[in-house]
Amino acid sequence: MLSKQDSNELDRGLTLMRKNLLSTDINELLIVNRYEQFSVDLVDAKTKNLIVGLPDKVVKDKVYDKERLQVICDRLHNLGYLNKANIKSVLNNNVIDSALKTAIENFQLDANLKIDGWIGDKTWLALQQLVTFEEPTKIHLWLNKSGQVNNALKRATQLRLYSLGLGDKPKLSPTAPALTLIKFRKVALTLFNGVEELNERQLLALLFDQDRMIQNLSLFSGNIHAPECRLEQQFIIAITKVELWLYGAESILPDANLIEQHKKYRAGARRRRKRVNVQLNVIEKSSLKINTSSFFYKALNSTWNKLLDKRVSEIKNKSSMYITTFPTFFKLLNELDEVDDRNLIQSLDAYVKKNKKNIKTIWKRAKNFASKLFDGIKRIGRMIKRFLGRVVDVTVEWLARPFYNLIVGIYKTLNTSIESTKEALSFLFSRYLKFKNNNAALAIKHNDADMNLFIDDQNASDVIDFSQKLLLLSKKLKAATKLISTFLTLLKSAFLALTGGWWAFFTACVNLYKDFPELINAITVLNEGNIIQLEQ
Amino acid sequence: MSLKEVITTAKGAIKDLTEIEVQTYTGQIEVAVDAIGTTDFAAILESAKATGNIKLCQVTKITIDGDAMNLVPDTAPPEHAAEAHKSALEAGQNVRSSMLELFKDLIEKY
């Protein structure tokens, strides 16, 4: 049975598991469900006084709580130390009377324990080992100095055989019954392998090891349907009931109790007697067919239903013909025991550790994901930066190119203007005008702008070309003189500013602003067409 | 052209800016071309006229107040010759305008 510490640990583990139920592993979910069911069963069993925690180490006022007192009394009674009437008295008054104290002392004496009339740790554990089926009993602890089985174990053996349908219930007696394992040896020889060579102590060890017997039964392959196997059949029914009881079917009464009830109610109502008789028939005759109104049948149905995924009719048939199929039942139970509840805490611990590993794995994955996400963001950042850089570059290029073109244009314009101005001025001061590659016309220019024009009347196209160039050059001359005039005005204004004040310079600039369209027009004319080259 | 020549040209130009006269000759212009660079251009020109190699075909004279005189022979000059004469006339006006612009301060003073 679990101690309080184990119980608390189990509760904590279950809470943790519930929190981590996000797991998709079906096996883990099954384990968790089973643990949860176990926890519920544990509470239920405590409520029904089917199990009791370990005794408190500190004895308070030599008084047991009521549940513990009930269990102590029941166990001492089952071992033949305490009368049932005494139990009733003790429970009603909730005190340790002399009968109970004597019973405890007798048990302690038989079990080679310190005799103090109090159920402390050692006495409690001794009762636990001898009476319950949960843990295998260590036989060597129950031997006298001479190596003989002590009286406590003799009583426990009788109780165990009674529970397994192989003997009578221990009676209230100051002396222990004789140790007789004849029936058990016979049953064991039929049902279990390798029993021939077991001595008495080994046989006792087998009797007090429920799991080992179940395992042996699961491997059985013989035939027990013959009438001479009635004892074996009885044993199988009884051990099945014990097993079902251990699995929670607490309503199943030990067979011998039915016998007692039968005796008790022998003179009772006919109907009740009939019902009891029917149940007794099941046990006494060890019929291969089981009564469908018994708790055993219902418990079997329920267990088959849990163990097998079969139709209802098939399950009922299996329960009714239980003996013929009994190895199957134990095989299934044995498989079920692969996940041993005794290792519950260890399993739970392993589960928690595994989940811790999972958490580490999840954290690792999360870190990887975050790292990738961060890389992605960085990459996007770099792309945006590159894109913005490109936008800036293009924008700068778009702005710079026109600016550059403007500067170049201005430079070219000014340059062309200067070249054109030079050419135009040379036209002003030349005596004759003759253009390169044109021999069809010639102009003799006088100082006052009068002209003598000589043309070749046979070459019309060249003459026209000459006249166009002449006209354009004169226009450029006009524009150039305008620019020069403006420049001279500025120069004069600057000179005046230096000598007479900045107001004059400002006025000149304002006047220049008025002439601005004219200046632009002059520059445009100067840049019109190619530079006309005069032949010197 | 030296500075002295420029000043002389400017003086001459200013002196007779009041009118423009353009004379257009047709014929073999090699005579005129050959005469370039000679000191007595007018004499060579007269000689050419006399030999009949060059013939005056149109004369136009425009005064500053806008009065104009245009002399043309009985036989109309070729179209390209008339076009060239017109361009030379306009060029002459532009030159005069340029001179006035260039020396306007001087003109304003005197």
pLDDT at position A283 is 42
Contact B98/A439, CB-based, under 8 Å? no
User: Which residues of chain A have a pLDDT value below 50?
Assistant: 1, 22-23, 56, 58, 60, 254, 256, 258-259, 261-263, 265-286
CA A450 from centroid of its chain's CA atoms: 110
Task: Give B97's contacts in chain A (Cβ within 8 Å).
Answer: 478, 481
pLDDT computed for residue A273 by the predictor: 41
Would you call A481 and B80 a contact, using CB atoms and an 8 Å cutoff?
no
The single-letter DSSP state of residue A501 is -
Q: Which of B12, B28, B88 sits opposite A447 (nearest CB)?
A: B12
Q: Is A403 exposed, middle or buried (0-12, 13-18, 19+ CB in 10 A)?
A: exposed
Cβ contact A463–B41 (<8 Å): no
Alpha-carbon distance of A270 to A30, in angstroms, equals: 49
Looking at residue A343, its pLDDT comes to 59
Specify the pLDDT at position B31: 62
The residues near A258 (Cβ < 8 Å, ≥ 6 apart) are A276, A279, A280, A283
Q: What pLDDT was estimated at residue A280?
A: 41
Question: In the prediction, which pLDDT does B3 show?
Answer: 55
Which chain B residue's Cα is nearest to A460?
B80
- What is the structure's pLDDT at A95? 78
**What is the tens place of the pLDDT at every residue in B16-59?**
567 788 888 887 766 666 666 655 666 767 776 777 777 888 88
A517 CB burial (10 A radius; 0-12, 13-18, 19+) = exposed
Q: Which pLDDT score is estimated for A140?
A: 86
Q: How far is A413 from A59, CA to CA, in rounded Å?
A: 119
- Give pLDDT, residue A356: 72
Instruction: Residue A416: name the closest of A470, A491, A479 by CA.
Output: A479
User: Quick one: pLDDT at residue A49?
Assistant: 61
What tokens does A66 get?
A: 């009521």
Cβ contact A448–B16 (<8 Å): yes
Question: Which pLDDT belongs to residue A286?
Answer: 44
ipTM of the complex: 0.79
Q: What pLDDT shows up at residue B6?
A: 57
